[in-house]
Amino acid sequence: MLPSSRKSRSPKGAVRRLLSRWLPPLLGGIVALALVFWLYRDLDFKRFVSGLGEARIGWIAVLTATILLEQLVNGWKWRQILHDVKPVRTLRLTGALLAGYGANILVPLGISPLVRSWLIARMEGLKMGTVLTTTIIARFIDGVIFALFAGLVAMAGRVPQIAGNLELGLAVAGALNFALFGAALWAMYRFRTLFAHEGPLICRLFDWVATWFRANGAALRGSLCAGVVWPRSRWHRAGILVGAVAAKLVAATHYIWAGLAVGVVLAPFDYLFLMVFAGFSLVLTRFVRVPGGFVIGSALAFELLGVPEEQALQMILFNWMLSIIIVVGVGLLVLWQSGIDIRRAQMEATDVRV
């Protein structure tokens, strides 16, 4: 019998690892492309291309600015959460956010929080686990705020009428979202002290799992717990909530500017519906490993709102392509200025010993 370390290096083991890593995203990509082609099977391609050429550059520039503004607001919100650990400049945090998104696009393995946490920890002299915890808190708060927007859209009664009760579906999904993220936040703060101790079973299990990655479980738990903070200043606490709401409102305006670029104007609540519907689609498709959930969700939402296919696809394309260009471009620039490349960022960020 070969030792387990040699087994893992065998050709069969390498093929198995390659398939397990890349086959699900590949299959998911095929499913996503099939859905997009099915949704736009009746597209008038000539009209679509001519519409792209006639798009108003001024509104596209505004869209570009608001995409950057959304990330700047998210960086400012992260600053409020991280403040009692260490005050960090908003621009530095925004750059780390974009670097994480850029790494996740180029290496689609969900490493965005790890990369941004590692980058800030490296630049500010903090423990990666501590910074990572603050990103998790930010994500949970975003989930709670998103759930409130979903409830607002459902209660407003401006949801397109289709077979079934879409309003009830959004309300239930929003309530589940609120309960899930709210409970996660409560558990983090309620059991922070307990998780830092040596005795509880969950702590011993965590330390045992950490040994698989050659990490010091107790030290890692300590650094994670150090990031479970809530600002002492009422202004910073208010800033977290204001930042989370403002980021969602800015995100909802993206399709306003994309629509004005191609001559589409919708009702105010339609833009909130687009954001909520596309957001839920993104979450659902991530569970089944299908990429492009936001694009698919937006396409379905535009169809429900009765927007012509050609203009809907133009709006989606402008929003999606500009987001990719900005995130990857600025994100890679941040990584380059930090003196690292994407491969090194991936390897070091996934090392739990940091």
User: What pLDDT, on a 0 to 100 scale, did the predictor assign at position 58?
Assistant: 95
Which structural domain range is residue 276 located in? 46-349
Q: Is residue 2 assigned to a domain?
A: no
Q: How far apart are CA 205 and CA 187, in angstroms?
A: 18
User: What pLDDT, on a 0 to 100 scale, did the predictor assign at position 43?
Assistant: 77
Q: Is residue 10 assigned to a domain?
A: no
Contacts of 170 (CB under 8 A, 6+ apart): 150, 151, 153, 154, 159, 276, 277, 280
User: What pLDDT, on a 0 to 100 scale, did the predictor assign at position 253?
Assistant: 95
Q: List alpha helices for the chain, DSSP H.
A: 4-7, 11-39, 45-53, 57-82, 90-106, 112-124, 128-156, 166-190, 192-195, 201-212, 217-226, 234-252, 254-262, 268-287, 293-305, 309-337, 342-349
Per-residue pLDDT tens listing for the chain (354 residues)? 444 444 445 666 666 666 565 566 566 567 666 777 777 777 778 888 888 888 999 999 999 999 999 999 999 999 999 999 999 999 999 999 988 887 777 666 667 888 889 889 988 889 988 999 999 999 999 999 999 998 888 887 667 766 556 777 788 888 898 999 999 999 888 888 877 777 777 887 887 877 786 777 778 788 888 888 899 999 999 999 999 999 999 999 999 999 999 999 998 889 999 999 888 887 777 666 666 678 888 888 898 888 998 899 999 989 988 988 888 788 778 777 766 555 555 555 455 444
Q: Is residue 39 assigned to a domain?
A: no
Q: Is residue 8 assigned to a domain?
A: no
Per-residue burial over 248-259, b = 16 or more CB atoms within 10 Å of its CB, e = otherwise: bebbbbbbbbbb
User: What pLDDT, on a 0 to 100 scale, did the predictor assign at position 20?
Assistant: 62
**Structure pTM?**
0.82
Q: Is residue 206 assigned to a domain?
A: yes
Q: Is residue 116 assigned to a domain?
A: yes
Q: Is residue 283 assigned to a domain?
A: yes
133-138: long-range contacts (C-beta < 8 A, 24 or more apart)? 133/188, 133/224, 133/225, 133/226, 133/227, 133/228, 134/78, 134/81, 134/82, 134/85, 134/227, 134/229, 135/78, 136/188, 137/81, 137/185, 137/188, 137/227, 137/228, 138/74, 138/77, 138/78, 138/81
Total of domains in the chain: 1
Contacts of 55 (CB under 8 A, 6+ apart): 261, 262, 314, 318
Q: Is residue 197 assigned to a domain?
A: yes
User: What pLDDT, on a 0 to 100 scale, did the predictor assign at position 5?
Assistant: 44
- In Å, how far are 19, 91, 100, 199 from 75, measured between CA atoms? 36, 7, 12, 37
